Structure 1
Amino acid sequence: MPLTRLSLSTGVDLDVELAGPEDAPAVILLHGFPESHRTWRHIVPDLARDHRVVAPDQRGYARSSKPAAVEDYAPDRIVADLIALADALGIDRFTLVGHDWGGAVAWTAALSRPDRVERLVIVNAPHPLVFQRSLFDDPAQRAASQYITRFRDTGIDAGLTGRGLERFFASTFVQHVTSAIAGEDKAAYLDEWSQPGAMTAMLNWYRASRIIVPAPDETPPRPAFLDAPFPPVTQTTLVVWGTDDKALLPVQLEGLDALVPDLTVERIAGGHFVPWQEPAAVLAAMRRWGI
């Protein structure tokens, strides 16, 4: 599908895949790191049969705008893009679907903008409180998340060009993938990552995040909010979880029902990138749930 370039009121331009009837219920699909709208390449055609589907390249990714400052990638800026995108398309309320970092944005948007987010679908993306708790309380999750500290080191950016992108593809990305990536798919990733400023912009999502990632042997002060009341997600919510995810462990599902009263969890066989590795299973879960 060709992409539509939209200028948003937040000051960024996003490339967006649009599909389906404009008068159908709206679904907005948010990708994560290090991807693009292509995360949903096997999902969009089916959803577009009976939904208005919107799948942006979020700020910093592919050929969308790449603001220079780290703070430009703070969660509130990304949520503002989401709402501005819906406004630009004349969409009031919508079902929001997010994977990985897109899921982090989706959790935040559901909590902060229930007037706009009607229903929520999360695919392998942790609830912010559950994730932060697990980084303090679960040694396995803490160990699995040390890559975040590496990604926050701006010293790695200079090496992420040319052959450095090939090394990133092979050593950092492919280790979380359970099927081969080659041909057009590999070329598309390398093309998106090689856009000027793209790797720095994508990594700035990690740098702008307030998530605390203690070192494996560290005993840092425990933030008070981890044990304080936390606002519930009020939307009807589906969580689809690839149980072989090596970065986000099954602990992310523990205690989730206390924070999301209207929750359905669908566990499926697959790794972190289930939207394109196991699209039939993801789609089946979404359709059973009522999309």
Structure 2
Amino acid sequence: MVALERVALSTGVELDVAVAGDPANPPIFLLHGFPESHHTWRHQIPVLAKTHFVIAPDQRGYARSSKPEGVENYSPDKPVADLMALADHFGIESFTLVGHDWGGAIAWMAGLQHPKRVTQLVILNAPHPQIFQRKLFDDPEQRKASQYVRYFRETDFDKGVTGAALERFFSSLFVQHLAATVSDEDKAQYLVDWGQPGAMTAMLNWYRATSMIVPGMDEDVERPAWIDGPFPLQPQPTLVIWGLRDTGLLPCLLDGLDQLIPDYTLVRIEDGGHFIPWEKHEQVTAALVHWLGRRTAV
């Protein structure tokens, strides 16, 4: 059984948090991405709850969770701090961390910054920061695929969003990245979540707050030195699950991951798009359960 709790954090925000399983079991946190919620994990939560204590928050800015004003409140360090505060709230010292899309970006950072707390990492279609920034400079196809980020940063369509505008967002910008159809029930859930006061602006602020450089197609931008130098190795065992039909985050983003993660496992989902947690939920859940079981048995 999944319970939805409202949790006030020491970071000053309140999050809706889906909780399932026995608190005595090993804890696992699930972080969703844009433009979703804990509903991303609707297929994984019941399965994982058989063996784990599952915690899946609606991250700041999403659904009914707090939406602090100002772009600066959505820089990646803020949701990382929320994650650690959420673990503290439940009295959890160390845990497995799973992240998809923006949730994966936060998971990469949390794993690097808190290696004693994040003991295992699972990433779904979320690029490693160094590889992503490098490909945005060196790979024309990935640069082209990422131009939507520039639009999300510059658009003002989130101001005064109406029901009709949300429908247009769903049928154009969202649906074009899907490799599966969305049920009427799930569509209704998206529209309710996006229609919460300030939600669309808060969600887009995640893109506006990041320091990641996305050059225009013909733009000549100074190359950041950090993308070619040494980068800290990922300290925890890491499973990467990647849908190869993702049109926004291309398979080239897997290049070099094995050099950055000493304990690295990759599962490719050949026919999976970006939203594999629910588009290809059976394959994702099977890979996740298998990997977690193997790690436990070691």
Q: TM-score, length-normalised on structure 1?
A: 0.98
Aligned residues of 1:27 and 1:96 also touching (Cα < 8 A): yes
Aligned to 2:140: 139
Aligned residues of 1:6 and 1:14 also touching (Cα < 8 A): yes
**For residues 98 and 182 of structure 2, what CA distance do their matches in structure 1 show?**
24
1:173 Cα deviation from its structure 2 partner: 0.4
Letter in 2 for 1:94: F
Aligned to 1:87: 88
Letter in 2 for 1:114: P
Aligned to 2:65: 64
**For residues 104 and 21 of structure 2, what CA distance do their matches in structure 1 show?**
22
**For residues 227 and 179 of structure 2, what CA distance do their matches in structure 1 show?**
33
1:288 Cα deviation from its structure 2 partner: 2.0
Aligned to 2:210: 209
Aligned residues of 1:176 and 1:246 also touching (Cα < 8 A): yes
**For residues 109 and 237 of structure 1, what CA distance do their matches in structure 2 show?**
13
Aligned to 1:287: 289
1:226 Cα deviation from its structure 2 partner: 1.0
1:148 Cα deviation from its structure 2 partner: 0.2
Deviation sequence 1:183-219 (CA, Å, 0-9, x none):
1100000000000000000000000000000001112
Deviation sequence 1:210-261 (CA, Å, 0-9, x none):
0000001112111111111111101000000011100100011000111111
Q: CA RMSD in A?
A: 0.9
**For residues 166 and 140 of structure 1, what CA distance do their matches in structure 2 show?**
29
1:182 Cα deviation from its structure 2 partner: 3.1
Aligned to 1:150: 151
Pairwise mapping of residues 259-278 of structure 1 onto structure 2 (< 5 A)?
A: 259-268=260-269, 269-278=271-280
Aligned residues of 1:160 and 1:168 also touching (Cα < 8 A): no
1:76 Cα deviation from its structure 2 partner: 0.6
**For residues 267 and 159 of structure 1, what CA distance do their matches in structure 2 show?**
40
The 3-state SS of whatever aligns with 2:273 is coil
Deviation sequence 1:44-91 (CA, Å, 0-9, x none):
000000100000000000000000010000111110000000000111
Letter in 2 for 1:55: A
Letter in 1 for 2:284: V
**For residues 232 and 165 of structure 2, what CA distance do their matches in structure 1 show?**
42
Aligned to 1:241: 242
Aligned residues of 2:179 and 2:245 also touching (Cα < 8 A): no
**For residues 255 and 179 of structure 1, what CA distance do their matches in structure 2 show?**
29
Kindly, what percent of the aligned residue pairs are identical? 62
**For residues 93 and 32 of structure 1, what CA distance do their matches in structure 2 show?**
22
Aligned residues of 2:123 and 2:240 also touching (Cα < 8 A): yes
**For residues 240 and 205 of structure 1, what CA distance do their matches in structure 2 show?**
23
Deviation sequence 1:240-284 (CA, Å, 0-9, x none):
001110010001100011111110000013100000111110011
Letter in 1 for 2:250: L
The 3-state SS of whatever aligns with 1:143 is helix
The 3-state SS of whatever aligns with 2:157 is helix
The 3-state SS of whatever aligns with 1:157 is coil
Aligned to 2:12: 11
Aligned to 1:119: 120
The 3-state SS of whatever aligns with 1:155 is coil
Letter in 2 for 1:67: P
Aligned to 2:296: none
Greater Cα shift, 196-205 or 224-233: 224-233
Gaps of at least 5 residues in structure 2 are 294-298
Gaps of at least 5 residues in structure 1 are none
The 3-state SS of whatever aligns with 1:152 is helix
Aligned to 2:233: 232
Letter in 1 for 2:290: R
The 3-state SS of whatever aligns with 2:159 is helix
**For residues 161 and 268 of structure 2, what CA distance do their matches in structure 1 show?**
34
